[in-house]
Amino acid sequence: MAKPDPSADAPAGGRGIGEVLKLLQDEFADVTISKIRFLEAEGLVSPARTPSGYRKFSAADVERLRYVLAAQRDRYLPLKVIKEHLDAIDRGLRPSAAGPPVAPSTPQTPGQPVAEDFGAAATELRLTREELRTAADVSPELLDELEGHGLVVATGKHYSGDAIVIAQVAAELASYGIEPRHLRAFRTAADREVGLIEQVTGPRRTEQTAELAALTVRLHTALVRSRLPRP
């Protein structure tokens, strides 16, 4: 009986374990098929399986293996710590040359806001409380106040990337004597604007939702500017 061809029912773009071994051996001379299988058994990589049971590794799986092998070889990290790092990367944090992954920077968008600023991100950033505090460089006390006034809200155990900007801006406002309790009006106004948008588009985020959000922020900016004292 002819030996079954592993590629016959392979998911599109997937690589067999032998192919992955060849890709990795140039950089990691001591890697073996047994090592790759061990890392899979430990939950560090989860390749797809064909109906016949063959492993098929995506490009993301290969990069994940590279990260694990490099962390072991160059930084002597135990698997438990590497797993924690991979979890952070899965939540949108970026790898760091030294130390755990970090939150990406959140630069302010120059000029008028556009719909893309409010679109659904391909990978939603999910931060722990300590990751948020570190990324925003704010004190635990300020973060407590922001949460107490509903300005920063966790979903489950994690905070979104927007929480970084909120915390950073709140810290800058605090230097002018504007405390988190003074910012509740902004939260209320934002809730009302979102409610208005949802009346038109419904609760699901769509392209139209993003466009309307950009327009409401532009209107808010213009209204504030128009009411400031003229020089």
SS3 letters for the chain? CCCCCCCCCCCCCCECHHHHHHHHHCCCCCCCHHHHHHHHHCCCCCCEECCCCCEEECHHHHHHHHHHHHHHHHHCCCHHHHHHHHHHHHCCCECCCCCCCECCCCCCCCCCCCHHHHCCCCCCCCECHHHHHHHHCCCHHHHHHHHHCCCCCCECCEECCHHHHHHHHHHHHHCCCCCHHHHHHHHHHHHHHHHHHHHHHCCCCCHHHHHHHHHHHHHHHHHHHHHCCCC
Q: Give residue 231's pLDDT.
A: 78
Find where tokens 């790092």 sit: 85
Q: What is the pLDDT of residues 28-79, one digit of tens each?
A: 999 999 999 999 999 999 999 999 999 999 999 999 999 999 999 999 999 9
Q: What is the pLDDT of residues 139-155, one digit of tens each?
A: 999 999 999 999 999 99
Distance CA(6)–CA(20), nearest Å, equals 14
| pLDDT score of 23 more than 80 | yes
Distance CA(74)–CA(88), nearest Å, equals 19
- Round the average pLDDT of the chain to a whole number and report it: 89
| pLDDT score of 228 more than 80 | yes
Hey, how many other C-beta atoms are within 10 angstroms of the C-beta on 94? 12
181 or 113: which leads in pLDDT: 181
| pLDDT score of 5 more than 50 | no
Find where tokens 């604007």 sit: 193
- CA distance readout (Å), 51 to 38, 56, 62, 218: 22, 11, 21, 52
- Structural domains of the chain in order of their starting residue, each with its CATH number: 17-90 (1.10.1660.10), 115-227 (1.10.1660)
Strand partners, 94: 102
Q: Give residue 119's pLDDT.
A: 76
Sequence length of the chain is 231
- Percentage of the chain exceeding pLDDT 70: 90
